[in-house]
Amino acid sequence: MDDDSVFRALADASRRLLLDRLHERNGQTLGDLCQGMEMSRQAVTKHLAILEEANLVSARRSGREKLHFINPVPINSIAERWIGKFDQPRLTALSALKQALEDKQDD
């Protein structure tokens, strides 16, 4: 549950993709998460276990299903540790500007 396990969990593109998918739609089963992923069910299971170990994903039973939820608390703690004292509105404005400029480049 320490920062090391959070950073280790985040240091993998497949695991970040799984977090992106849960961020897009929260509360998915293993089957939902496997859809459209270019890896085996076992690999997805392994990545989810590492994300759960780091407390970045929380699994809950709902009837017969096990649903996975993104847990934003550890990332928020990391953000507060280093970013909180800087001007949050300005950082938000900067990241919005970066996104707008980069979107334009894609056109």
Partner 1 sequence: MTDGKSSFVYVTFIKTTPDRLWAALTTPEFMRVYWFGVNIETDWKAGSDWTMVHGDGRVTDAGKVVECDPPRRIVLDWTHQMNPELAAEGASQCIIELEPLDGAVKLTILHTMQRGDSKLIGAVSGGWPRILSNLKSYLETGEAILS
Name the residues that contact partner 1, by CB under 8 A: 1, 25-29, 32, 55, 58, 60, 62, 67, 69-73, 75-77, 80, 84
Question: Based on CB atoms, which residue is closest to partner 1, 87 or 102?
Answer: 87
CB closer to partner 1, 14 vs 71: 71
Q: Is 67 helix (H, G, I), strand (E, B) or coil?
A: strand
Closest separation between CB of residue 49 and partner 1, Å? 15
Shortest distance in whole angstroms from residue 62 CB to partner 1: 8
Which of helix, strand or coil describes residue 72? coil
Asked if residues 73 and 64 have their Cβ atoms less than 8 Å apart, the reply is: no
Report phi then psi at 80, rounded to 5: -70, -30
Pick the closer one to partner 1 by CB: 2 or 12: 2
> What are residue 66's DSSP bridge partners?
61
CB of 63 to partner 1, least distance (A): 11
Q: Please give the sequence-ordered ranges of beta strands (E in DSSP) within 1-107, or none if there are none.
A: 57-62, 65-70
